[in-house]
Amino acid sequence: MSVRLKNKIRLYTDTSLILGRIIELNPQDSHYLCNVMRLTKGAALNCFNAKDGEYECQIVTADKKHCSIRVDFRVNNSILAPDIWLLFAPLKKDKTDFVIEKTTELGVHTIVPIITQNTIAEKVRTERFSAQAKEAAEQCERTDIPIIKEAVRLKDLLCAWPQERRLFFLDETLSGKDCLELFNAYKNQPAAILVGPEGGFSSEEKELIDSLPFACGVSLGPRILRAETAACAALSIWQAVCGDWSKGE
């Protein structure tokens, strides 16, 4: 049974959460708790990670740069996101921020930034993506945070693809290959959703993807969606068909 946490601050930590343990927080988290949220000694918050679950903790020292907490008691078990990857070509900054935040809320397991022929982002800052995913996970009550992989060229990724993982390729030119049906057909397989960049995939890339035995093109309907809309719509539908809704109840 999972406990709903009304308005309590949640903080992800990769330090093991063990009852009674005192944890020195890093400077960013210390700054956030003490300067931004203005918590002081004695205040309670929740800390979590995928391995240990979620614990109520208490601040035992608080100054501007250093904050330490004590792990008091467990409030929730760890619930891991289902095994769904999102492969997307980074967009302009605010749109990429949107994709990271919203797909974290929608329960993506792993995010792989891909470089395609029409990718417009000049620099892919994966450390920034990780910080955004952590923040979104803290807000939405996940107990894990998505894995953010280093950016990779689409061709290189596909050459080294784990064959047992089904690749759903979002293709706006298809009609009649509705994603609901196809997600359902491969329901028990690890999966990935591939979204194209703003300018779409090149014909060379499409040809390559179409030739792969583990790939299958899917449509999200008759309208051309922006890449960030397509990513969120596809993930929502995949979760509705293949996600584990019984967890956390």
CB of 150 to ligand SAM, least distance (A): 21
Instruction: Give dist(CA 71, CA 90) in Å, integer.
Output: 38
Alpha-helical regions (H) of the chain: 27-31, 93-105, 126-140, 154-159, 179-185, 203-210, 227-242
The yes or no reply on residue 202 touching ligand SAM (CB under 6 A) is no
User: Which positions ≥6 away from 231 have C-beta within 8 Å?
Assistant: 86, 88, 99, 102, 103, 193, 195
CB of 241 to ligand SAM, least distance (A): 16
Choose which of 37, 199, 244, 248 interacts with ligand SAM (CB under 6 A): 199
Closest CA to 232 of 99, 83, 139, 133: 99
Among the residue ranges 60-68, 91-99, 143-151, 170-178, the one whose residues contact ligand SAM (CB under 6 A): 170-178
Choose which of 15, 110, 219, 236 interacts with ligand SAM (CB under 6 A): 219
Written as six digits, the tokens of 232 are 């969120």
Among the residue ranges 32-40, 50-58, 92-100, 196-204, the one whose residues contact ligand SAM (CB under 6 A): 196-204
Instruction: Give dist(CA 141, CA 152) in Å, integer.
Output: 30
Choose which of 79, 131, 225, 242 interacts with ligand SAM (CB under 6 A): 225
Choose which of 106, 158, 200, 205 interacts with ligand SAM (CB under 6 A): 200
Choose which of 137, 171, 192, 205 interacts with ligand SAM (CB under 6 A): 171
| Sites for ligand SAM among residues 102-141 (CB under 6 A) | none
Q: Residue-wise over 70-98: b if at least 16 C-beta within 10 A, else e?
A: bbeeebbeebebeebbbbbbbbeeebbbb
Could you list the residues that contact ligand SAM (CB under 6 A)?
170-172, 195-196, 198-201, 219-221, 223-227, 230
